[in-house]
Structures are given as C-alpha cells and as structure tokens.
Amino acid sequence: MEDKNRLLLIDGSSVAFRAFFALYNQLDRFKAPNGLHTNAIFAFHTMLSSLMERIQPTHVLIAFDAGKTTFRTEMFADYKGGRSKTPDEFREQLPFIKEMIEKLGIRHYELANYEADDIIGTLDKMAEAPDVNFDVTIVTGDKDMIQLVDGNTRVEISKKGVAEFEEFTPDYLLEKMGLTPSQFIDLKALMGDSSDNYPGVTKVGEKTGLKLLQEFGSLENLYENVETLKASKMKDNLIADKEMAFLSQQLATINTKTPLEIGLEDTLLKEKNVAELGQFYDEMGFSQFKSKLLTDGGGEVTDETVSEEIKFEIVTDKSSVASVNADDFFYLETLGENYHREQIVAFAWGNAEKIYVSKNLDLLTEMKFPENTYDFKKNRVLLSHLNIELPLVKFDAMLAKYLISTTEDNKISTIARLFDVGHLATDEEIFGKGTKLALPDDEILFDHLARKIRVLARAKEKMMAELIENEQEHLLSDMELPLAEVLAKMEITGISVSQNTLEEIGAENEEKLALLTREIYELAGEEFNINSPKQLGVILFEKLQLPVGKKTKTGYSTAVDVLEDLAALSPVVAKILEYRQINKVQSTYVKGLIPQIADDGKIHTRYVQDLTQTGRLSSVDPNLQNIPVRLEEGRKIRKAFVPSQDSLLLSSDYSQIELRVLAHISADEHLIDAFKHGADIHTSTSMRVFGIEKAEDVTANDRRNAKAVNFGVVYGISDFGLARNLGITRKDAKNYIETYFERYPGIKTYMENIVREARDKGFVETMSHRRRKIPDINARNFNVRGFAERTAINSPIQGSAADILKIAMINLDKALTERQSKSKLLLQVHDEIILDVPLEELEEIQALVKETMEEAIELAVPLKVDENTGKTWYEAK
C-alpha cells in the first residue's frame, strides 16, 4: 500500500484560470520586475505546492487545452462559442506557468484537436489498467471531469482561493447529487452547459434533469420510455430536442482513447532544477519562493542570499540590564501557549541595530523594562510568577496590529510580512508543533528572538503611522493597553471552583447517563455509539426509518432541531436528546473543568484580546464565557463557582446593550423614545410593528415574535433567517421586516448607509474607531455578498457594545484601586462582569459598579445595568 504509485493529473488550463481569479483583486500588486503580471503564476505555484505536499504523488502531468478548434467543434460548431475573450493579463502568463512547471520537474502536455480533459481521461484509464493500478487524483477548475471518478480516481475541484477544493468520490457524488459518474454525463446531456455553450433539452435544468435521471436511470432509458411520461410541455421538449440531447451527451463525454504521444512512464516526477528555478523566481520577483527553495535544501547557495544577517549579544550577567533604553522593545519567549503554566525560556530586548538575548531569568529581577513590547498581558502574567510587577508599556505591537487589521493573525512573522520589514520564520517553523514542540539549540533560539526584536523595532513607526491615519491611537493607548492590564489582573486572580461540587454533579450525571444509555439501546434494539452522529443516523433513519429532514455534507443531520421534530415519532429520540444534554454537561463542564482547577483551587482562564473580528474578547483554556445557564441541568455547574471567604459574587450585566447601541448609532427616534421611556423593548416593538395600542394587549406570542425581529435587526436581518427562526413562512417574515422598517425608518436608513459605507471604504467602524474590513462587500456571489452586508450591519453594533464594556472595566478597575477596595473583577462575559465582593463592601461596590457601567459612555439613550449577588454564580443570576 505504502509504495503504491500515485498519479496527479491537473487540468492546467482551468486551474490556471482559477488561479488568475483567485488573486484577481491583487492584479496590480503582483508584477514581475519587468512589468509582467504574475498573479496567476504565483497562485498556480501556491496551489501546486500545496497539492504536491498533500498528495505526495509519484507521477504528475499537467494538461493544457491546445487551441480553439477540437473534435468537438467539428461536431457542434458553437461548442465553447460566445465566451468572452480571455483577459490579456491572463494570456501573457500562461507561457511562464508552463516554463515554471518544467523547472519544477513536472511534465506538461497538450495535443491539437483535444482538450485537457481528454488527455487526462485517457491517462486516467491507462493508470487503471490492472498491471499498473495507480491511485489517481484529478485536479480541475470545473465540473466536467466528475464523470471520471471511480474506486481509483478522485476528482478535486478548486472552490475558493488557492487552497480550497471539493473532493468528488463515487460516494460523495451519490451523496451530494444522487448520481453515478456516468449519470453525470447524462445530466449534462439534459441540462446542457452554458459555459461550453451547448443547450441540452429546452427548459430542463439541474432540478428536472436530476428528477428524470432518478426515475429512468439513464438518457437512453429515458428516451426508450419517453412515451410513458404524461403529457406536458416538458415531454414535448424532450421529444423535440432528442437529437440535441444525444449530441450534448457526446460533447459532454470525455474521450478516454485520445491518441497521446506520451505514456504513464513520461509522467514520472523528476527532481526540480534548483538553479533555473531560483533564476525564474528572481525574474518573477518571488522572493519568498526563492528563500524557501534555498532553505529546503536547494544546494549550493549560502544562507546570506536567503536572509539578512543579524547580530546580537548574549547576556549572562547583570551588567547591562539596568540601563535599557526606554525606547527599546522587549520580548519574553515561552514554549507553550498557556502562560499561566509556562516558564520563560529566553528573552530579548533592544532596537533595530543593537539586540540582546538571554536565558538567565535572574536578570529579569534587575531589569529596567523598556516601553515597547509584544503581548503585554502575557508578559505581565509571566513576570508576576517571578514576583516582578511589569509596568504598563506604551506600545504593544500585537494589539496595534489587531487594531489595524483583524483579517490576519497578529504573529510577529505576519507583522514582518505585512509591514515589509524582512522575512521572519514562524514560531511553528522554529519550535515545531503538537508532540514535536521543542526548544531548538541556543544558537537558533537566540537568532530567532533577535530577529523578532528587529522586526518589531522596524515595524513600530509604520504601525503608529497607520494607527494615526485610522484615528486609532487612543484605541491603543486608552483602551486596549489599559484593558490588557485589567485582564492580566483578572486572569491572575482567577475564580474559585469547588471540585467537590463538580464531582457531585458528575456522579449524578453518570447515573443518569448509564440509565439513558440502557434505555436507548433497548429502544433502538441494539448497542451503538450514541456520540457518533454517523452511527446514530443509521439507527434513526435506516433502522427505524424515521423521515430524513436535514442532511449535512457527510450524511444525515442529527442536530437538536432535527431531533425535536422527530421526538413525537419515536420514544428513543427524546431519550437521545436528554442523553446529549447531560453528556454535554458531563464532558465539557465536569470532566473538562476539573483538570483546569489549579493548585490554588482556582481556574485561571486566558482572555484572547486580539482575535475576534468585532472587538469582543474570547476566553480559552478553559472558556469561561460559555458556562451553561439556559437549561437547569447545565446551570447547576454554576454552583461550583464560588467567591472567596466572607465575600459574595456580584454579577452585573447591561440590559439590551446592543439594541441601545443601535438606537444611538442609527438615531432612530422611535427606538430612542422607547428606551428613554424605560419601556420593555420587545413589547414596545410588538406594539409598533403589529399596531397594538395598549401594552396589556401584547400577548406572550406577540412579544416573542418581536423579540426575534429585534434579534434579526441586530444581526442584519433577512426574511429567510427570520422565517427559519420563527418557524413562519418567508413571505410572512418579509412582511414583518417591511413593517418594521416602515415603523423604524431610522433603522432602515442606518442599514443602507452602513452597507454603502462598507462599499465605499472597504471597512466599517465602531464608535471608538475600531475597524473591520469587509472585503467581500462587492462580491459577485450572492451569498458571499449577503454575508458581507450582514457583517457590515452587525459589526459596528456588536463592536461598539464591546468597546463600552471595555471602557467600563477600565474605569471600574481604576475606581476600585483608588478606593483601595478589596473587591476584585473576576470574569467578563461580553455584556456582563462578575466580581468578588467582600460582604462589608457590598452595598458600596454594588452601587459603584452599576454607576460605572451605566456612565461608561454617554449615548442618546440611557444604559441600564442589572445586578445580582449570591454565594455561588448559580445564585447570582
């Protein structure tokens, strides 16, 4: 099995075309020094490398179309007619793609009168001969080749960008479309192909075609039995277009007997020509490919041409640490991610010219820390373990990069690339990952650290310039940086969790699960893994024959909403739902949390401050922002979260903060009025939208519907989404939305304006100038564009709400410090903060928290905070 030959066949013409469009928006950025466009060459190279890496083929052939006329144009003159001219920018790149392929040691081939498909189909058949029996992967940009899939052959179709492919196997084809590979040809015969410009049968599209094939199996059988169809327009069309259907069938069929001048032996992968390839990359201006080529063992070229030299001083004693320049950067390295449990393995400081590195942690005690760093919060926590209190810095490159753009990650290697300050290896390249994570030799470690310092030092001014340009300097200095300090404090404090309580809940759950498991096996008539959606699907939809509702990409969906619809049909379904619920609590919150309790009896989460697209925080390792609350079964977990001795937990949350923010930024007078009058907002919406005069006349159902509409508004409403959520028709949902916009015209205007703004500027902003890029806002694909529009609507709302809570936390921390209060911030859950408050301070602090939160910012509507206290988190709600 291991030494089996693997053949990779690529439709060079269509993949190159896809590559061209994958980086079409970067057309101007990808230019060779001589002015040649290189976006397609670059993307093709990237696609090819990742395919080679993933598939590890022994044999490769890239086929190209030879010219406009083929045996198909002889059969049908209009074949591929009416296509718009291929762009010049693309055509000029094709010869270079072929040249590059040769230098990579890969064979390419084209043959007059035949298309790339035919070359590939023929080689595929050759490779399936019993005496050779290759595994074949075909990569292409369009669907025509799906007909070739079989046990030995899978077809991957480029979907998006340079890395996403949809993989077709016989099973997948059957799953997705209900077709065999040969039926796929017949489907195209019936529906035609608009891009290849043959028509098939009039008025028959994919839906009808699929239906007919499901009924008759094949085109031939359909026409043998065409008279049995009941009289209809479709029947008339089928009969009238019979000839075209069979011609289309011939056009769609790939010729697997093409008279090739090459054989399988010619596709054997050869060594790449490093010297010529290096020269080619230079000509194209592909410096990254060049350096990768050389580092991957290219041969004779020395390191100097690859990367810049760097000098640094290894410090072992305390002589130089007390006089560090304030303008320098410093950086602490750890091996793992969880800095609560990690040790500092090395550190570095300096500027773009002079850099120092060390492994001697004793030096840190004497160190005068400079004012620039990367990930202040991590550094603060790490140093706190050495009893060093790191003063707040003035600049944090990680946070700065996050504010400038959330589209990419904020690693230093990414900063190096984006701000064009030289190449930096990723941490993964230096330290490995997973089980292979390890420290390299000091030489490599220090070199890497020194390079990080240099990148940071060089990028700082560019980043500052961009922050100023974006009006974001305050966002860094007055929001994210002070917040980092507050979050560090919260993480270090941690929250006490009673292991006993968790274990008691766990024991109860185990009993319930054991009983439910027995009952489920009994009702199902056999034992199976209830946790496997695949096995569960077989039991429910095959053995018990329950009606199939939704499907997922891999099989039957067994998600809650599907199962709830089935509960009435079989008693086992309710038991499965109950099992799922308890098992979730047990695995994630009992078994998951217990090992997270540290020796101090507390859980110390980490807040990720540079991740979300909107400005929210996230919480990891463990996530304390998704502790169950909605269902009683899970809510009990909160009984394990407790305050310190003689304290209570105080939970303070903003009421309807997102709708209040929406009222403010949209300036809709009716929504503002409602909040000013302290109305129940869903009742108020209900009255306006459904035309109800008196609040008493709003039924629970009216309010529920209005609540769903309000949610929808915040998310960037669509009739489809609202209909699905409320279980009403799309038409009714559409009506609701129209009425809503009539009654709240300011909201409608906001939505139109923000989408236009996203189109004009390419990004949207929160009240504090936090930005989110919306690159897909002009996408031609309806879905992609729709998603981008909803994002444009939602992000300023969710993001401004996040900004407000961040401000409140900073102000509150300051107020607590000034009062020398013993109360402590413990957790943040998006619109809520949880504090540990000593009993004697309760009254004072409760008032302080409420006031600080409500006055964090002045909006056109009041902010409202609800508070609860308790001896556990369960009670404080």
Nearer to DNA, 647 or 795 (CB): 795
CB nearer DNA, residue 54 or residue 318: 54
SS (H, E, C) 350-405: ECCCCEEEECCCHHHHHCCCCCEECCHHHHHHHHHCCCCCCCCCCEEHHHHHHHHC
CB of 389 to DNA, least distance (A): 28
How near is the Cβ of 596 to DNA at its closest, in Å?
Answer: 8
Residues whose CB is less than 8 angstroms from the CB of residue 591 and which lie 6 or more positions away in sequence, other chains included: 506
CB of 294 to DNA, least distance (A): 25
Which residue's CB is nearer to DNA, number 115 or number 480? 480
Distance CA 107, CA 653 (A): 64
17 exposed, middle or buried (CB, 10 Å; 0-12, 13-18, 19+)? buried
d(CA 358, CA 430): 17
Tokens of 416: 């190096």
Q: Within a 13 Å sphere around the CA of 760, how many CA atoms are in the beta-carbon half?
A: 7
Q: Which of 465, 399, 813 is nearest to 615 (CA)?
A: 399
Return the exposure string of 571-596: e unless at least 16 CB atoms fall within 10 Å of the residue's CB, then b: ebbbbbbbbbbbbebbebbbeebeee
SS3 574: helix
**Quick check: bond before 622 cis, omega within 30?**
yes
Q: Are 513 and 582 in contact (CB under 8 A)?
A: yes
- Is the CB of 162 or the CB of 722 nearer to DNA? 722
Sheet bearing 824-828, strands edge to edge: 824-828, 832-838, 647-654, 865-870
259/571 Cα distance (integer angstroms): 63
Q: How far is the CB of 363 from DNA (least distance, A)?
A: 33
Comparing CB distances to DNA, the nearer of 167 and 469 is 167
Return the structure tokens found at 464.
């500052």
Closer residue to DNA, CB minimum distance, 76 or 541: 541
Closest distance to DNA from the beta carbon of 148 (Å):
20
Q: Between 16 and 774, name the residue whose CB sits nearer to DNA.
A: 774
| One-letter amino acid for residue 241 of the chain | D
- Shortest spacing between CB 700 and DNA, in angstroms: 17
CB closer to DNA out of 113 and 613: 613
Question: Which DSSP symbol is given to 344?
Answer: P
Helices and strands (H and E) in the chain: how many: 37, 23
Q: Which is nearer to DNA, 560 or 847 (CB)?
A: 560
Taking only Cα atoms into account, the Rg of the chain, rounded to an integer number of angstroms, comes to: 32
Cβ proximity to DNA, 121 vs 209, nearer residue: 209
CB of residue 290 to DNA, shortest distance in Å: 26
Instruction: Give the tokens for residue 840.
Output: 């004697």
Torsion sign over Cα 714, 718, 719, 725: negative
Query: Which CB sits closer to DNA, 297 or 434?
Result: 434
Nearer to DNA, 271 or 782 (CB): 782
Tell me the β-bridge partners of 107.
61
Write down the least CB distance from residue 798 to DNA, Å: 6
Q: Measuring CA to CA, how many Å separate 469 from each of 473, 613, 840?
A: 9, 20, 48
Considering the complex, state which of residue 97 and residue 524 has its C-beta at the smaller distance from DNA: 524
Closest to DNA by CB, 284 or 825: 825
Shortest distance, CB of residue 576 to DNA, whole angstroms?
A: 8
State the nearest-atom distance from the C-beta of 666 to DNA, in Å: 16
CB of 658 to DNA, least distance (A): 8
Strand partners, 124: none
Q: Is residue 134 within 8 Å of 128, Cβ to Cβ?
A: yes
- Least distance from DNA to the Cβ atom of residue 563, Å: 7
C-alpha distances in Å from residue 205, one per residue of 201, 208, 753, 783? 8, 6, 38, 21
Compute the least distance from the CB of residue 852 to DNA, in Å.
18
> At its nearest, how many Å lie between DNA and the CB of residue 396?
19
Cβ 850 to DNA shortest distance, Å: 17
Q: Which residue do the tokens 């009039």 mark?
A: 202
For the CB of residue 251, give the shortest distance to DNA in the complex, in Å. 24
Gap between the Cα atoms of 623 and 667, Å rounded: 36
Pairing of strands 372-373, 329-333: parallel
Write out the H or E segment, with its range, that includes residue 619: strand 618-620
Q: What letter does residue 322 receive in the DSSP assignment?
A: G
The DSSP code sequence of 600-616 is TSEE--EEESS--SSS-
Report which residue type is found at 576.
I
Q: Which is nearer to DNA, 591 or 814 (CB)?
A: 591
Return the amino acid letter for 825: L
In the complex, minimum distance from the CB of residue 23 to DNA, in angstroms, rounded to a whole number: 21
* Least distance between DNA and beta carbon 372 (Å): 26
Residue whose CB is less far from DNA, 21 or 528:
528
- Residue with the two structure tokens 């009606």: 547
Q: Transcribe 249-277 into DSSP letters.
A: HHHHS--TT---S--GGGGB-----HHHH
Residue nearer to DNA on the CB measure, 462 or 790 = 790
Cβ distance to DNA smaller for residue 701 or 783: 783
Q: How far is CA 349 from CA 251, 315, 454, in A?
A: 67, 11, 9
